[in-house]
Structure 1
Amino acid sequence: MKIYKSLQLDFNFNTVVTIGTFDGVHIGHRKIIERLVQTAKKSQLKSVVLTFFPHPRMVLQKDADIKLINTIDERSVILEQLGLDVLVIKKFTKEFSRLTAEEYVTDVLVKQLRVKKIIIGYDHHFGRNRAANIENLKAYGKIHDFEVEEISAQDINEVSVSSTKIRTALLDGNIKKANKYLGSYFMLSGNVVKGKGLGNTIGFPTANLHIEETYKLIPKQGVYIVKTTIDHQVVFGMMNIGFNPTTDIDKKQKIEVHFFNFNQSIYNISLVIELLDRIRDEHKFDSVNDLKAQLQKDQETSLKYLAKHHAE
């Protein structure tokens, strides 16, 4: 998959395009992308997703506090896995939002993306103030020689899911529901940084995950069963999201992962942590010994889960 981060494109091919923010790339999104990829192959065209970053709400509504299910890099990885040919990430600005519908179609879709077919939801709106709809798009298609395939309300509602529902599930700690809606495991991506080393002293060394993107949604605090890949090997573990109330006093939320049967040094490497299930809330224990006893129980719970669901 080739990634472009502007609309200064050098396409020497015609395309099938879909458009959207695709936060989470959930099962509803996947249905659209699969149709896009299949149509492109059948028509001997290139499949293209036009997406936007920052999220339009961050720009137009000053909603700086909106949290996204995926970072833009995570979104790119998922789309590549789905077989997409080209991802165009357009920086979303107020100026871009003021393009008229005609300017958007002629300058972006026709001249830059070289579109021959657009696959888009029945409720799609575009252009300044989102004034144009799919009927307008079909009319432009007749003028500029591209086809519009409408994804019906029935098709979209068949998969009753939305990014908002997934965000709510994650904030509630319902990782099973979130993963079901996503069609894959929710992920946290970051770099391993040095912590205080307390885990080593009680037999549960942890990797401290630092996530640079402040807009990334962090699920409800608590203990999760997780997996990652390190040096091409799948590694399982348990992760705590929280403030370490038993031992810590700096009141900063941390993301710490204890990997099972693993003792390599992994400082300063990047990891993608997939969340499989949630065990419990974070608690404050009366002593470090009580904390250690609970961690042992958590490990037993995790290993039983993995034996049942992840025999590999």
Structure 2
Amino acid sequence: MFNPFYFCKNLILKVYNSISAFHSLTKTVITLGTFDGVHVGHQSIIEKLKACSFGCNYESVVLTFFPHPRMVLQQDVSIQLLNTIDEKALLLDRFGVDNLIVHPFDEAFSNLSAEEFVRQILVDKLNVYKIIIGYDHRFGKNRTADINDLVLFGKKYGFEVEQIGAHEIDEIAISSTKIRSALSDGNITLANQFLGYAYFISGEVIEGKKIGRTIGFPTANIQISEDYKLLPKKGVYVVAAKIKSTLFFGMMNIGTNPTVGINEQSIEVHFFDFNSDIYKERLEISILEYVRGEQKFESLELLQQQLEKDKVFSLEFIRSNESNFI
């Protein structure tokens, strides 16, 4: 089974920060899109990409854009995404893609005509042999071209086009919506089912208020620098992370610490059987199960008592699901 905790720090995947930075002496098999979440629907497309590129000994390429087009064209700064760019690279590497191009999306790029995009980008820059694309994909200035135009361009410029069918595209859209909804509701089990792996957050361990250690629950405070990263519902979760090549389990609180009156949102993880200095370490925290919602307690003593109950619940969950973490 795919173990979500064993991400490779030294990526085999090659990541490029613009289309112009990419060069390939061989032909390429390409798919493009936001691939937010890289969930089970996206993974089926990636399998098609890999099968085709492997079969003809060509390079596989995922082309995506950042900022998200809606951030640029609709000025939607409130958009929340399932993955940061680094997280997306970790996932695509784990799923065996050769190359990821993260191209800056701006007004100039959006103004390319459909044929300019095909000729200048797909053909001249990416050396395309085949593109795998959704039946409803629209491209070019004002999104005027569709899959039929792309097929015609393929005949003109000598590349193949494989359509991803309506049913598969609809499943992808439904999955993305359900994942976001499930995370907002704290339904981690459902979210992870649609993702095909444990939802995770990435961030640096920073100095905190150190209140947890006074009640026997020292925590690692995680700072996420990307404000567009979607966080699950406030509350307590069972989590896991690989620290210095060892897998540790723990419980995480996302919230504002109402019991101590801090009122600033924080992400704090208490790892079981762990006592090392990890300040400034960057961790991927995999979220395994929802424990309870955020609560305000009348005293630190009552908070400590609840944390002991949370720990019992967490350890029982880990023990019951141990076979999934091999």
Shorter-normalised TM range: over 0.9
Contact in 1 for aligned 2:41/2:168 (Cα 8 Å)? no
How far apart are residue 158 of structure 1 and its match? 5.5
Q: 1:142 corresponds to which letter in structure 2?
A: K
2:274 is aligned with 1:262: yes
* CA distance in 2: counterparts of 1:268 and 1:14, whole angstroms: 41
* CA distance in 1: counterparts of 2:234 and 2:193, whole angstroms: 20
Equivalent positions of 1:134-213 (< 5 A) are 134-157=147-170, 161-213=174-226
| Deviation larger for 146-155 or 296-305 | 146-155
Q: Deviations over 1:226-282 (max 9, x none)?
A: 000001100000000001111133x11000000001111111110000000101001
Contact in 1 for aligned 2:23/2:126 (Cα 8 Å)? no
* CA distance in 1: counterparts of 2:177 and 2:64, whole angstroms: 18
Out of 210, 226, 230, which is 2:243 matched to?
230
* CA distance in 2: counterparts of 1:140 and 1:242, whole angstroms: 51
Out of 10, 14, 24, which is 1:2 matched to?
14
* CA distance in 2: counterparts of 1:88 and 1:158, whole angstroms: 25
How far apart are residue 157 of structure 1 and its match? 4.0
Counterpart for residue 299 of structure 2 = 287
Counterpart for residue 100 of structure 2 = 87
How far apart are residue 154 of structure 1 and its match? 2.8
How far apart are residue 10 of structure 1 and its match? 2.2
* CA distance in 2: counterparts of 1:13 and 1:259, whole angstroms: 47
* CA distance in 1: counterparts of 2:113 and 2:266, whole angstroms: 45
- Are residues 229 and 41 of structure 1, via their aligned partners in 2, closer, same or farther at CA, if it must alter by over 3 Å? same
Contact in 2 for aligned 1:166/1:182 (Cα 8 Å)? yes
2:12 is aligned with 1:12: no
* CA distance in 1: counterparts of 2:23 and 2:260, whole angstroms: 56
Q: How many equivalent pairs are there?
A: 311
Which runs of no fewer than 5 residues in structure 2 stay unpaired? 1-12
- Are residues 164 and 158 of structure 1, via their aligned partners in 2, closer, same or farther at CA, if it must alter by over 3 Å? closer
Out of 6, 28, 38, which is 2:41 matched to?
28
Which structure 1 residue ranges, 4+ long, deviate > 3 Å from structure 2?
A: 155-162
* CA distance in 2: counterparts of 1:296 and 1:59, whole angstroms: 47
Q: 1:126 corresponds to which letter in structure 2?
A: F
Q: 1:58 corresponds to which letter in structure 2?
A: M
Counterpart for residue 145 of structure 2 = 132
Q: 2:300 corresponds to which letter in structure 1?
A: V
* CA distance in 2: counterparts of 1:288 and 1:18, whole angstroms: 53
Counterpart for residue 265 of structure 2 = 253
Counterpart for residue 123 of structure 1 = 136
Report % sequence identity: 52
* CA distance in 2: counterparts of 1:92 and 1:227, whole angstroms: 34
Q: Deviations over 1:96-150 (max 9, x none)?
A: 0111000000000000010010111111111111111101000000000000011
Counterpart for residue 89 of structure 2 = 76
Counterpart for residue 271 of structure 1 = 283
Q: 1:300 corresponds to which letter in structure 2?
A: V
TM-score, length-scaled by structure 1 = 0.97
Equivalent positions of 1:47-86 (< 5 A) are 47-86=60-99
Q: 1:276 corresponds to which letter in structure 2?
A: L
* CA distance in 2: counterparts of 1:42 and 1:98, whole angstroms: 35
* CA distance in 1: counterparts of 2:99 and 2:270, whole angstroms: 37
Structure 1 residue matching 2:251: 3-state secondary structure: strand
Q: 1:147 corresponds to which letter in structure 2?
A: E
How far apart are residue 200 of structure 1 and its match? 0.7
* CA distance in 2: counterparts of 1:94 and 1:27, whole angstroms: 32
Out of 78, 88, 105, which is 2:118 matched to?
105
* CA distance in 2: counterparts of 1:271 and 1:74, whole angstroms: 11
* CA distance in 1: counterparts of 2:144 and 2:191, whole angstroms: 33
How far apart are residue 170 of structure 1 and its match? 1.0
TM-score, length-scaled by structure 2 = 0.93
* CA distance in 2: counterparts of 1:225 and 1:60, whole angstroms: 38
Which runs of no fewer than 5 residues in structure 1 stay unpaired? none
Contact in 2 for aligned 1:49/1:86 (Cα 8 Å)? yes
